[in-house]
Amino acid sequence: MSSSTSDRRLSELWSCVTLDEASSLIDSTSNPFSLQNFVGGQYIAPHDSLTSSSQHITSFEPKTGRPIYTLPCTQPHAVEAAIKAAKAAFPSWSKTARAERSAILWKVSELLQQNREVFAIWESIDQGKTLDRARIEVDRAISNFSYFSTFILHEQTAARMVDGVALTYEHRSPAGVFALISPWNMPLYLLTWKIAPCLAFGCTAVAKPSEVTSMTAFLLGDIFQKAGVPPGVINIIFGDGATTGAALVASPLINGVSFTGGTQTGIAIRRLTAHQIGKHLSLELGGKNPTLVFADSMVPSVRERTIRVAAMAAFENQGEICLCGSRIYVEKSVYNDFVRDFTAYVREKYVLKQTVGAVASLQHCDKIRRYLELAAEQKATFHLGGVPPTLNEDEAQGYWIEPTILTDVAKNSAIQIDEIFGPVVTITPFDNEQEAIQLANDSEYGLAAILLTTDGARMRRVGEQLEAGLVWVNCWLVRELGTPFGGMKNSGTGREGGEHSRDVFTVVRTLHLPAY
């Protein structure tokens, strides 16, 4: 593809300010649009040696099943070229004044704000989420850049005296070149959650979004150009995990990895980097999160809030959020009332193709379907939803799964144990507080939990015993960007957010100076 053709196609993407316009652009194109890697401050044409071999991946629109673009499966030699571009940019960027880095990142946030609707439209098309959900996530991406652009202007350190003999103080410096790898469920939001602090703290990076949802990452390159990010500071390459991702994280030129995705991939990253002891690792992995509903949260004055929060935590973004509460445990005295009211609320508020989008891919749709087949085989009760028909690529008219509510699911069923990552929730009764805690903690995962109660003492008593990195009480997905984000057990290692992101992207050394 020539540079002029690439510029024209990029301009066409930016021109779409409604879903209908974007859909018409897809329909009017005889061949799917080809995404290009963004390396050294410019887009690299597919025939260029920095891109890849002839291997490409086709991405399909979840709501229709039609192909919308292809992307290169970037090969190891091209991955290394992108890393070298980041390596070359590091000495200058790491020494750039914080005020200058701040101004550039603030400009990125402004440009994202100016193009908010375009990003939301392509995020909705690419991932399958509703447009309203996409707008929320674009707003959070904007906040990522605005927050970290100002956070770095208020740096502080620690100094200590040693018995009048010496003064010691801590000095932080950027850690180097990072691999930033993000998942397909919240593409722009989670990619910028990594890029913003990485660049703010003076590191450079090679970012790889999921090959399933790469469109907004492609558009982001243009934003970085317009914001004046120096060439090589942020590079965006496309491809799968086995080829592109593995070459990226294993490179000895990479000083750190920030990854969000599945637990098995996180384990693979640990193995690939085990011999590189000094490489920084921040891994935010899977979750099978519990929601605990106590009887006091079902009194009339707060019942609507309880049902609303539990439903939001179960079905927002089609259940494709690692923080979703897919295991609901309800105190036995209000169990039947909760199941009845919860089912009625979800049936009214979470309507397929209106307030519930499509799941992200045919492969993921098939995975969810297999779990629902298992539920039927195990005689679970379907209060809502059912087993969808089998799809194949040629016949698919979109990857749609009805919101599904299950009861009578055995404790040892894979449906209760595995991260299904879709619009599927189980509801199980408990007798008392200790049983609720035991059920909640009976998982290999420990990412998040939701606690619904009006008892202030219980909020702390139970909340502090839940094996989860994040516990929400009577709310869900409330975030303050300075708080630590991350999980326990097989849900990952490390924390990000505010000063915790600083720990990921910087190295600290202690200097000892004579007191006199």
Give whole-number Cα distances, 231 to 214, 220, 225, 228, in Å.
21, 14, 8, 9
What are the tens digits of pLDDT across the range 219-266?
999 999 999 999 999 999 999 999 999 999 999 999 999 999 999 999
What are the tens digits of pLDDT across the range 193-205?
999 999 999 999 9
Q: Give the distance from CA 266 to its chain's centroid.
A: 14
Predicted local distance difference test score (pLDDT) of residue 200: 98
Predicted local distance difference test score (pLDDT) of residue 21: 95
Between CA 312 and CA 325 the distance in angstroms is 9
Predicted local distance difference test score (pLDDT) of residue 9: 80
Mean pLDDT of the chain: 95
Predicted local distance difference test score (pLDDT) of residue 391: 85
What are the tens digits of pLDDT across the range 73-120?
999 999 999 999 999 999 999 999 999 999 999 999 999 999 999 999
334 contacts: CB under 8 Å, gap ≥ 6 = 293, 295, 298
Structure tokens belonging to residue 404: 């599904």
Please determine, for residue 512, whether its predicted confidence score (pLDDT) is greater than 70. Answer: yes
Between CA 66 and CA 420 the distance in angstroms is 24
What are the tens digits of pLDDT across the range 351-381?
999 999 999 999 999 999 999 999 999 999 9
Pure H helices in 48-186: 76-95, 98-114, 116-127, 131-151
What are the tens digits of pLDDT across the range 135-169?
999 999 999 999 999 999 998 899 998 888 999 99
What percentage of the chain exceeds 70 in pLDDT?
A: 96
Predicted local distance difference test score (pLDDT) of residue 51: 47
Please determine, for residue 3, whether its predicted confidence score (pLDDT) is greater than 80. Answer: no
Pairing between β-strand 159-162 and β-strand 33-34 as defined by DSSP bridges? unpaired
Q: Give the distance from CA 411 to its chain's centroid.
A: 28
Please determine, for residue 54, whether its predicted confidence score (pLDDT) is greater than 60. Answer: no
Residues labelled catalytic: 284
Higher local confidence (pLDDT), 54 or 497: 497
In whole angstroms, how large is the CA radius of gyration of the chain? 24
Average pLDDT for 203-208? 98
Predicted local distance difference test score (pLDDT) of residue 52: 43
Predicted local distance difference test score (pLDDT) of residue 4: 56
Structure tokens belonging to residue 424: 């599927």
What are the tens digits of pLDDT across the range 287-344?
999 999 999 999 999 999 999 999 999 999 999 999 999 999 999 999 999 999 999 9
Nearest to 501 by CA among 480, 478, 489, 484: 484
Predicted local distance difference test score (pLDDT) of residue 30: 74
Predicted local distance difference test score (pLDDT) of residue 5: 56
Strand order in the sheet with 33-34: 33-34, 67-72, 56-60
What are the tens digits of pLDDT across the range 484-496?
999 999 999 999 9
Structure tokens belonging to residue 452: 């619904």
Nearest to 191 by CA among 160, 212, 156, 216: 216
What percentage of the chain exceeds 90 in pLDDT?
A: 91
Average pLDDT for 443-465? 98
- Evaluate whether 465 touches 444 at the Cβ level (below 8 Å): no
- Evaluate whether 170 touches 509 at the Cβ level (below 8 Å): yes
Between CA 398 and CA 360 the distance in angstroms is 9
